[in-house]
Structure formats: C-alpha cells, structure tokens
Structure 1
Amino acid sequence: MKYMATYDWMESFRNTVEWAGASARAMASYPAFALSPNPMIPMMAAWGEVAERSFSRMVAKPDWGIRSIVGPKGQDHLVDVVTEVEKPFGNLIHFAVRRRAPMARKILLVAPMSGHYATLLRSTVSSLLPDAEVYVTDWHNARDIPVSEGKFDIEDYTLYLVEFMRHLGPETHVIAICQPAPLTLAATAYLAGEDPDAQPRSLTLIGGPIDPDAAATDVTDFGRRVTMGQLEQLAIQRVGFKYKGAGRLVYPGLLQLAGFMSMNAERHSKAFQDQIMRVVNGEAADHDQHNRFYDEYLAVMDMTAEFYLSTVERIFKNREIAQNAFMVAGKHVDLGAISRVAVMTVEGEKDDISAPGQCVAALDMLKNLPDDKKTSHLEPDAGHYGIFAGKSWRLNIRPLVLGFIDAHSEPRVKPIRLAT
C-alpha cells in the first residue's frame, strides 16, 4: 500500500482544481456581476471554464466520434464500433460500416500503449475507413482492471497481438504506430515460427523504436541515464481506492501527463493563456482547435507497472528486439522466421521521439525476407505526429501505405482513392 497515498493525492489535486474551475465559472456567471465593469469577473469565469474542462478530461476516455463516412456513390454510411475480441487489458474493435459490402483491404491498426488512448488514432482511422475494413487494438486503462486479472507486460502484449492476428486471418495487413512497432514485429515473427498460416499479408511499421540505439533522442537518453531501481521509485504507484484496479501497480497517467507537459511547458502555458482570452472575448467554441487538441492530449491512461518497466528494460536498455534475443513465454522469437510477410517502414525526418534510423533498422534484421518484400520511406520535414495523423500522413504517407498493401494483396485490390 506504499504508493496509494501518492496516487490518491494526485487524484485529489486534480479533482480540487476541476471543482475550483467549476466554482469560479459558476460564481462569476451570476447576473448581478454583469452590473460591474470589473474585467476580472469575466476573466475569472473564463479561467474557470478552461480549468474545469481541462482537468475533467484527464480522467475521461474520449469518444471515437466517427459517426459516418461518405460512400463512393455520395451516400452517408453510419459507422458502428463493434467489439470483435474482448480481453481484460484490451479489445479488438471493428469499425463496421453499415450498408457497405466488405472491403478487399483488411487493416489492423496497432495503437500505442504509451499514455494516451487508442482514440489518438481517430484521424488515421477516419482516413482509412473509406477504403478498408479497419480494426484497432483498444487498450484499457490499467486503473480500471482489478488486480485479480493478473499482470500485463510486453510478453502478454505480444500474445494479445498474436491472438488478434489469428482472429483476423492471413489476409490482414497490419499497421503498427510508434511504441508497438517492435512488439508487432515480434508478434509477426512468433506467428511465422509457430503458426505460419496465420501470418498477416503485410506489416507497416510507422515511427517505432525497433533499434533505439540507431539514433539518439531524449527518450533513449533518459532510458540510459536512469536505472531500473530509480525508475521504479520515481514512476510507479498503486492505484487508489476510487477505481476498480485499487492496489494495482501502475505508471499513472497523471504522472505521465506531467512529463509530457514539462517537455514543452512554455508552449502549453501560452496555449492555455490564449484560450482563456478567447473565452473572455467570446471567440472560443466547444470544438475549436484548442479543445479538439487538448481534449485528446489531456486524456491519459495508466499503464501497468510491469508493462512500462519491461518496455524500458527489454526494448530500450537491453535492445532484445534489435539483437533478436526476445523471448515470449520461454520461447525465442526469431525474426529470421519472417520470410514472406512484406514489411514497410515509415519515418519522419524531424521525428524527435523515434528518430530516423530507429524504425528502418527492422529491414536489416529480416535476413530471410526477400528484398522485393522490403520497403522504406522517410517523410521530409515531418515530425512524429505528422507521419500517422497529420498533413504528411494525409497527403503522402497514406497513399504510399495503401499502395504497398495493394502490391502485396492476393488477389490485387482496386487502386487506392487519394485523400482530398
């Protein structure tokens, strides 16, 4: 119970600021105050509105918000989020499009488990839906998972991916974004060795740390500087009494968010100051640019302690994937077993999280994969977010990825429709 008090203190602080914001907004909105010319009154209401919204979002899972897509004949098709496989630590979900025949392309998007929900890929999903059947790994917040469900580390994560791939079948095309890239590569190698007929048709790795030492970043430097003992003492706490996972050891989402914000503190501070002034001037809206971004950015989830610590130790420090020494359930996962799954890597030239070189390193590790099944792309001037959800994804990378999928599909599917 050593760290439950710290976890509950963070939640109490968040709750207090949310309450203070709601109180300030309500108090400053009394009609009687409209008679006063004091500019601090609308300023207090604006601060309260922004504070209440921001701190309430920190414990709420965002909605996917994908209601419909436009079909090839101009008709709207409603979209349902259907759970295909339900597991304690994450589900496989399908974005089922009503009144549309099954698409030839079947894509599994492997979402990161790195602090934010899978909804971070909302725009990625939306861009792929018109041209493919889209499935996503929807990871659960560790604070909501009872201790009785047991542990969840990177080996368990890999086995989840193996089960999801088996469920979808060999005609699947897998796209792994950022953190899960090395484990998705391992899951594919696991299937290649244990169940070759269940291998996916292709694998696209986007901005992932396959070999963290290939190019240094602040993330890799941190992993080298801090010992595992220090990291456990600094980052790991027990879930407090408010949630179903009370007592579970986690890396808390609120602590992760503090780290995210501190890396660009000045930029975030200015963004919130500007938003307060927009509220004062009546220029803000429920879904304006600020709220669209921060509603997602501030929504953080706890990671199980064993997943976070094993990721740092085995992926970054020991480089088990990069050295082809990864073990799952006592079995060596040999990357050399991959011999027929087409593999593409995508990197951003200005990616400061997974720098260029870290992801493309995967191609050199696949010794038994023919060169005609290997492809790489370096997107000029693109940062980390842009290569899977920004302008670079929409205009350049998405068509390249779909073209790669089409080239390695049997039978070949119709040419891709470019995004507008």
Structure 2
Amino acid sequence: MKNMFTYDFMETMRNTNQWLGATAEAIGSYPAMAAHPMAPWLKAWGAVTERSFGRMVEKPAWGIPTFAGEDGRDHTVRIMKMVEKPFGDLVHFKVPGRAPKARRVLLVAPMSGHYATLLRKTVISLLPDCEVFVTDWHNARDIPVSEGKFDVEDYTLYLVEFMRALGADLHVIAICQPAPLTLAATAYLAEEEPEAQPRTLTLIGGPIDPEANHTEVTDFGRSVTMGQLEQGAIQQVGFKYAGVGRLVYPGLLQLASFISMNAETHAEAFQNQIVRAAKGEAEDNDRHNVFYDEYLAVMDMTAEFYLSTVERIFKNREVARNAFTVAGKPVDIGKITTVAVKVVEGEEDDISAPGQCYAALDLLTGLPREKKAAHLEPGAGHYGIFAGKSWRHNIRPLVLKFIDANAGAPAAKPRPWPRIVAVNETSDEGNEPEPARKDGATAV
C-alpha cells in the first residue's frame, strides 16, 4: 500500500488543525473568558483556522444567484445533470420559465487541483445571455478503484461524448489546463463525426505549446523527471474515502505547492483576517473568505491524469507537435476546417504565458484565416482573463461577439433538451448582467 500512510497522515494533520481551531474558538467564546484581553484574539485565530482547514475537504457549492431577465423578472437557476459518468458530469445551469437562449455554451473546466466551481463567476456572467453547460469533474478520492483509470485520453473522450450529447449548435470555451485536450477532442470529432463539431471554440489561457513562452510551471515540467514525480507526488487514497487504494496526486499536496509559490502573501492575508476577526470587522462573505473558501478547496487528481499531462502535454509536447493520439489513433488538428477558433491570453499571465495558447492557430492548417481570431488582454493575469475584471468588462463581450459572428442561422424551433438525470441544487440570490463593451479582437 505505497504511500497510503502519508495520505492518511496528511488528512490526520488537517483534521487535527481544524479541531484545534474549533477548540480555540470555543474557549475564546466562553463567558468566563470575556474579560481576558486575549480572548478575542484566541477566538479569532480559532475561527479563521477552523474555517480554513475545514474548507480543504469540502466541495464548494455553486451558489448561483438569481438574475434579472429581459422580462424584468428575477430568474432562479437550477443545476441539472445531463450526462453522468464516473469521473465527471455534464451539468446544465437551467433557468426555469425562460425560453432557451440561442447561444449554447459549454465551459470546459480545468482539472488542475480545484473544483469546477472555480468558474462560478464565469458562469454567472454568461447566464443572462446564454444556455450554460459545464464539465463538473469529480474528486478522485471518491471514485472506487473498480471504475478504472482516467488519463488525458480518457479526458479527451469525455469531452467528445459531452459535445455529442449537446449537438452541433454549440460553442465551447476551454479554460486553462483543458485547452489542448479540448482542441484535440474537436479534431477527433472533425475526423470521426464532423456533424458533431461545435460551431466555435474559444481557448483561454491554455498551454497548447508550453515551450512557446516559459513560466515557472513549464520550467518545473522540464526539470523534473517522471520518476521523481511519481515518487514525490503520487500517493494512495486512505481508508476514509470510497476511492481507497486509488493512486492520486493529493489535493492537500497540491495546495501546499500552491501556497508555497506565494507564501508571504498568503501569510499576510491570514494575519490580517485574524486581526479583522478580533476587531469584529470580519464577515462570513467578506473578500478574504470568498476567495479562500474556493482557493483552499482542493481535489485529488488521478495519478494517470497528472503524470500523463506532465509527460505528454508539457514534456513531449504532443499537442503542440500535432502528434497526440487517442486509443492508438492519431488526432490531426489540421482536420478542423469549419470550427471558428479564438484564443485569449493575458499579458501578465504567469501560468500560461502569452504565446502558449496562440500556438493553436498555427496548428489549424486546414482552417480558413477568417475563422481564426486572437485577443491579448493588456495587464491581465491568469485568473482575470476568465473570472476577473478583465473577463467581465472586456473579454466576455468579445467572446459573445465572436460566437454570434460564427453561429450560423438560428433554428426555427427551440432545440429540445436531452433527458435530465438529476437535480443538484437551486439558488435564489441576486445578480445583474454585465454590460457589453466594444469588441477589440484581432483577426489572425
């Protein structure tokens, strides 16, 4: 049971720290402690600690608010499973009482340590104008070993199945890590089932060619050996979870890596939050908690997916060299001839630097020039180009305009929805749609 002890030990340490935080908060809140000057600080430290360590093993709720529709009414949102599979589901953010929107958008969420809920703000921004679908990936620790492996090829085939289920009148937006695999899935459909291809494909901040512009991420991928990765990063899920015995790259180990990249910034943020909590200025949904509730919620990745991503996407650059295969079959990106493709990059992106995503356009040798477009967002970092201010105020309107320009003639009747598998949750908070701005996309 290789490394099962270390997996359970990390979970034990996390659980112990959560308990220490809860205990400190309880002691600091005890009436007999009220006169002691350290009581507010003990209570504050405990509350922040308990919340932080508790979030590490919880999947955040989507928490999609209501929004004002064109009819002047507030519309609620229901999250429906359309396709349910062992390693991930296709979900639809359905708006009851509203006629289906012509724009049907599939957001391909990253499988890079965080849940698909990382795209919450992206979903919220698109809901007033689109029918929104998302790939909701599962935590590998909760998937029994009997379900088999899941690597980059399986991920690609999942995307193929999801696109087939949604039909050709679809616009796909792939964010970060899945960009190269979404490009490969589209090329797979172009050869195997051309009528199932989406109408547009937007790639946002993805490592199509990691060598196009180096970052710390690409430098790490080049410097470490596969043997070192397997020995240092891969563990077996412990006895607490349904996936016991499955080889994974643990979420807690990933989180330690994330935090170490900006340790001083995170330490200062938590110190400031403790001070605010001691003064009674912290709130449940303040800026710190909103950010860290999502940031600290991490998921395990299957070992096959993590290792094959590093080896095939970063080291061997199979997509960048147009040498990617699925089930032994070569996938030729040059076969894409009808799908309009747009790439979006952030000028200050330190994860997928400018040039990495743009490389997709050079691979599309069979696509007419007028169906290619690119946009470089000035001053934007990685998160900003799909969920921050840059996305809301500038990039989103550009993407919607690109979708409309390549949507083709609308259907005479609304498209019937596939059978719904299950209902996950409802939401009843408030939200307003974002205003559009002038399109500044550059044709390639």
1:24 and 2:41 matched: no
Asked if 2 retains the 8 angstrom alpha-carbon contact of 1:127 and 1:419, the reply is: no
CA distance in 2, matches of 1:26, 1:93: 40
Question: Which TM-score applies when normalising by structure 2?
Answer: 0.93
Higher relative contact order (CA 8 A, sep 6+): 2
2:99 corresponds to? 101
RMSD: 1.1
1:262 corresponds to? 260
For structure 1, which runs of at least 5 residues remain unmatched after alignment? none
Please report how far the alpha carbon of residue 69 of structure 1 lies from its aligned counterpart in structure 2 after TM superposition: 1.8
Amino acid in the other structure paired with 1:88: P
1:76 corresponds to? 74
Runs of 4+ in 1 over 2 A off after TM superposition: 416-420
SS of the residue corresponding to residue 135 of structure 2 reads strand
Q: Spell out the pairing of 1:131-170 with structure 2 (5 A cutoff).
A: 131-170=129-168
Amino acid in the other structure paired with 2:265: R
Cα deviation, 1:23-61, whole Å, max 9, x if unaligned, reads 00001111011133x3x2211110000000000000000
Q: Spell out the pairing of 1:151-190 with structure 2 (5 A cutoff).
A: 151-190=149-188
Aligned with 1:222 (options 220, 223, 228) = 220
SS of the residue corresponding to residue 130 of structure 1 reads coil
Amino acid in the other structure paired with 1:278: R
Q: Spell out the pairing of 1:183-262 with structure 2 (5 A cutoff).
A: 183-262=181-260
Q: Spell out the pairing of 1:11-410 with structure 2 (5 A cutoff).
A: 11-36=11-36, 38=37, 40-410=38-408
CA distance in 1, matches of 2:193, 2:159: 13
CA distance in 2, matches of 1:131, 1:309: 38
Asked if 1 retains the 8 angstrom alpha-carbon contact of 2:86 and 2:143, the reply is: yes
Asked if 2 retains the 8 angstrom alpha-carbon contact of 1:342 and 1:408, the reply is: yes
Please report how far the alpha carbon of residue 306 of structure 1 lies from its aligned counterpart in structure 2 after TM superposition: 0.2
| Larger displacement relative to structure 2 (64-73 or 228-237) | 64-73
Cα deviation, 1:291-337, whole Å, max 9, x if unaligned, reads 00000000000000000000000000000000010000110000011
Amino acid in the other structure paired with 1:251: Y
SS of the residue corresponding to residue 50 of structure 1 reads helix
Asked if 2 retains the 8 angstrom alpha-carbon contact of 1:131 and 1:417, the reply is: no
Please report how far the alpha carbon of residue 67 of structure 1 lies from its aligned counterpart in structure 2 after TM superposition: 3.4
Please report how far the alpha carbon of residue 419 of structure 1 lies from its aligned counterpart in structure 2 after TM superposition: 4.8
SS of the residue corresponding to residue 91 of structure 2 reads strand
Question: Which TM-score applies when normalising by structure 1?
Answer: 0.98
Asked if 2 retains the 8 angstrom alpha-carbon contact of 1:349 and 1:380, the reply is: yes
1:418 corresponds to? 435
For structure 2, which runs of at least 5 residues remain unmatched after alignment? 412-432, 438-444
CA distance in 2, matches of 1:319, 1:158: 16
Amino acid in the other structure paired with 1:211: D
Asked if 1 retains the 8 angstrom alpha-carbon contact of 2:393 and 2:434, the reply is: no
